[in-house]
Amino acid sequence: MDKQHSIKRIGVLTGGGDCPGLNAVIRAVTKAAIAEHEFEVFGIEDGYLGLIENRIRRLTFNDVSNILDRGGTILGTSNKANPAHFCVGHNSAGEPIFEDVTDTALKHVSEHGLDLLVCIGGDGTMSGASRLVSRGLHVIGVPKTIDNDLAHTEVTFGFDTAVSTATDAMDRLRTTASSHHRVMLLELMGRNAGWITLHTGAAGGADILLIPEIEYNLEAVCESCLRRSKSGRAYTLVAVSEGAKPIGGQVVVDHVVHESPDPIRLGGVSEVLCEQIAEQTRLECRATILGHVQRGGAPTAHDRVLATMFGHEAVNMIVRGEFDRMVAMQGGRLTSVPIAEVADRQRLVPLDHPLVAACRATGASFGD
């Protein structure tokens, strides 16, 4: 029998941190699956958590109408629920107890008669998917994250919206920085990858960009700020990644989510830098941590289009029998890569990236 003819019922879940465009993918997958192939579609609530807790519901055409422009995810999500490493409680010392509950998840898949899952998520979600694949379940992955750091795809949906939101913030900081002749730092998300900062810094004309891939030298950062203030351009805009760190130093950890498979949450480097720059330069400094605003709100037109193409391609892959692979964009073309090759990997900014060179050429410093 043709592989695609064995697929009749598919499940869809959104895992990890949310981002704009998730609903556009859910819509594209559900509509294309129902209208073009008469599949039955089931939505799994809160990512792998709903699979473990058996919260699975039928999705109809109407359920996914009018959600294209809506941020977040109508299915909910969780970034603490990898079935292979799931927190089932805490010991008397308050430490989490982890168990492999993959069997429970697979039992619920089979109770609902699901032939395949479409897992929309980042590296953590692909890691969970990879484990399910190794247990014999068919999965198609769709690459999501504002961080744009998934391996083997040059773009993820959600990134464009995050950069657009962050650029708006940087534009606003420029006017107030200029009025008060201040050094303004804008701290951006991205974990250990500097994509959001690089693109926001380029689009917002940041004077200094501090990204995790290029460790900064505090002296060089202060030098740049002082040079600008002396040259009459009496303010400085600094775009700084939450994962930026000084040469030979450490990242700033905001808190630890012990139940999460990826427990470290970064944050606060801009506040540390703000104090250090103020002390060393005597310039007035302010730090803004943009935070989860970058993950919220309506997707840009670009992300709606990308999410729709990714979702439709996921269904095309099911029909072609191209299982256990993630949709990817390479050289501007849709393609796919094995999910196992994406799991637990991060795509960092290469030091010879043309946008790094363009920023340097237009006068920006990377603090090195």
189 belongs to the binding site for ligand F6P (CB under 6 A): yes
Least distance CB 282 / ligand F6P (angstroms):
32
Q: Give the integer Cα–Cα distance in Å for 221 and 214.
A: 13
Residue (41 or 261) nearer to ligand F6P, CB: 261
Residue (31 or 295) nearer to ligand F6P, CB: 295
190 belongs to the binding site for ligand F6P (CB under 6 A): yes
Residue (168 or 284) nearer to ligand F6P, CB: 168
Q: Give the integer Cα–Cα distance in Å for 165 and 300.
A: 10
Residue 14 CB coordination number (10 Å): 30
Among 13, 119, 146, 240, binds ligand F6P (CB under 6 A): 146
The one segment of 89-97, 99-107, 188-196, 333-341 that binds ligand F6P by CB under 6 A:
188-196
Q: Give the integer Cα–Cα distance in Å for 217 and 62.
A: 55
Among 84, 251, 266, 287, binds ligand F6P (CB under 6 A): 266
The one segment of 52-60, 166-174, 187-195, 320-328 that binds ligand F6P by CB under 6 A:
187-195
Number of residues that bind ligand F6P (CB under 6 A): 12
79 belongs to the binding site for ligand F6P (CB under 6 A): yes
182 belongs to the binding site for ligand F6P (CB under 6 A): no
Catalytic annotation, pick one of 18, 123, 147, 324:
147
Ordered DSSP codes for 133-158: HHTT-EEEEEEB-TT---TT-S--BT
192 belongs to the binding site for ligand F6P (CB under 6 A): no
145 belongs to the binding site for ligand F6P (CB under 6 A): yes
200 belongs to the binding site for ligand F6P (CB under 6 A): no
Residue (59 or 162) nearer to ligand F6P, CB: 162
Nearest to 137 by CA among 9, 16, 45: 9
Q: What are the structure tokens assigned to 144, written together?
A: 């999501």
Q: Give the integer Cα–Cα distance in Å for 315 and 37.
A: 9
265 belongs to the binding site for ligand F6P (CB under 6 A): yes
347 belongs to the binding site for ligand F6P (CB under 6 A): no
Q: Give the integer Cα–Cα distance in Å for 258 and 67.
A: 33
Q: Which stretches does DSSP call E strand in 91-134?
A: 96-99, 116-121
327 belongs to the binding site for ligand F6P (CB under 6 A): no
Least distance CB 144 / ligand F6P (angstroms):
9
Q: State the Rg of the chain over Cα.
A: 22
Nearest to 170 by CA among 227, 240, 251: 240
Nearest to 82 by CA among 126, 112, 117, 141: 126
191 belongs to the binding site for ligand F6P (CB under 6 A): yes
212 belongs to the binding site for ligand F6P (CB under 6 A): no
Nearest to 289 by CA among 255, 238, 225, 216: 238
Residue count of the chain: 368
Q: Give the integer Cα–Cα distance in Å for 187 and 198.
A: 12
224 belongs to the binding site for ligand F6P (CB under 6 A): no
Q: Which stretches does DSSP call E strand in 144-241?
A: 183-188, 208-210, 236-241
CB 124 within 8 Å of CB 262: yes
Residues 6+ apart with CB under 8 A from 154: 329, 330, 331, 332
15 belongs to the binding site for ligand F6P (CB under 6 A): no
199 belongs to the binding site for ligand F6P (CB under 6 A): no
Q: Give the integer Cα–Cα distance in Å for 84 and 100.
A: 4
**Mask of contacts with ligand F6P, 239-258, x by CB under 6 A?**
---x----------------
73 belongs to the binding site for ligand F6P (CB under 6 A): no
Least distance CB 143 / ligand F6P (angstroms):
12
Determine whether 149 is an active site residue: no
82 belongs to the binding site for ligand F6P (CB under 6 A): no
Q: Which residues are catalytic?
A: 147
Q: Footprint of ligand F6P on this chain (CB under 6 A)?
A: 17, 79, 145-147, 189-191, 242, 265-266, 295
